[in-house]
Structure 1
Amino acid sequence: MIILDKISKAFGQQRVVSDATTDFEKGKVTAVIGPNGAGKSTLLSMATRLVSPDSGTVVIDGKAISDWNTAELAKSLAVLRQANSMTMRFTIRELVAFGRFPYSKGNLTAADNEAIDQAIHYLDLAELQHRYLDELSGGQRQLAFIAMVIAQDTDYVFLDEPLNNLDIRHSLSIMKTVQRLAHEMGKAVIVVIHDINFAACYADHIIAMKKGCIVANATVNDVIQADVLEDIYDTPFNIVEANGKRMCLYY
Structure 2
Amino acid sequence: MIKLESLTKVFGHKPVVDSASAEFEKGKVTSIIGPNGAGKSTLLSMASRLINKDQGKVFIDSVSLEEWDTKELAKRLAVLRQANSITMRFTVREMVSFGRFPYSKGNLTAQDQEVIDQAIEYLDLTRIQHSYLDELSGGQRQLAFIAMVIAQDTDYVFLDEPLNNLDIKHSLQIMKNVRRLAHETNKAVVVVIHDINFASCYSDKIIALKQGKVVAQGSVEDVIQADTLERIYETPFNIIEQDGKRMCTYY
Give TM class, smaller chain.
over 0.9
- Work out the CA distance in 2 between the residues paired with 1:20 and 1:224: 20
Deviations 1:122-169 (A, max 9, x none): 011001000000000000000000000000000000000000000000
**Which residue number corresponds to residue 229 of structure 2?**
229
**Which residue number corresponds to residue 93 of structure 2?**
93
| 1:155 equivalent in alignment to 2:155 | yes
SS in 2 for 1:178: helix
Alignment TM-score, normalising by the size of structure 2: 0.99
How far off is 1:243 after superposition?
Answer: 1.2
**Which residue number corresponds to residue 197 of structure 1?**
197
Uncovered stretches (5+) of structure 1, i.e. residues with no partner = none
1:38-187 matched pairs, under 5 angstroms: 38-187=38-187
The aligned length equals: 251
| 1:36 equivalent in alignment to 2:36 | yes
Moved runs in structure 1, 4+ residues, more than 6 A?
none
| 1:238 equivalent in alignment to 2:238 | yes
How far off is 1:214 after superposition?
Answer: 0.3
- Work out the CA distance in 2 between the residues paired with 1:147 and 1:3: 26
Q: Which residue identity is paired with 1:204?
A: D
- Work out the CA distance in 2 between the residues paired with 1:146 and 1:242: 30
- Work out the CA distance in 2 between the residues paired with 1:240 and 1:117: 40
- Work out the CA distance in 2 between the residues paired with 1:58 and 1:240: 36
- Work out the CA distance in 2 between the residues paired with 1:22 and 1:122: 29
Deviations 1:12-50 (A, max 9, x none): 111100101111000000000000000000000011000
- Work out the CA distance in 2 between the residues paired with 1:240 and 1:172: 19
Taking only the aligned residue pairs, the percentage that are identical comes to 73
1:208-223 matched pairs, under 5 angstroms: 208-223=208-223
1:14-29 matched pairs, under 5 angstroms: 14-29=14-29
User: What value does the CA root-mean-square deviation take over the aligned residues?
Assistant: 0.5
How far off is 1:52 after superposition?
Answer: 1.3
- Work out the CA distance in 2 between the residues paired with 1:224 and 1:86: 37
SS in 1 for 2:248: strand
Uncovered stretches (5+) of structure 2, i.e. residues with no partner = none
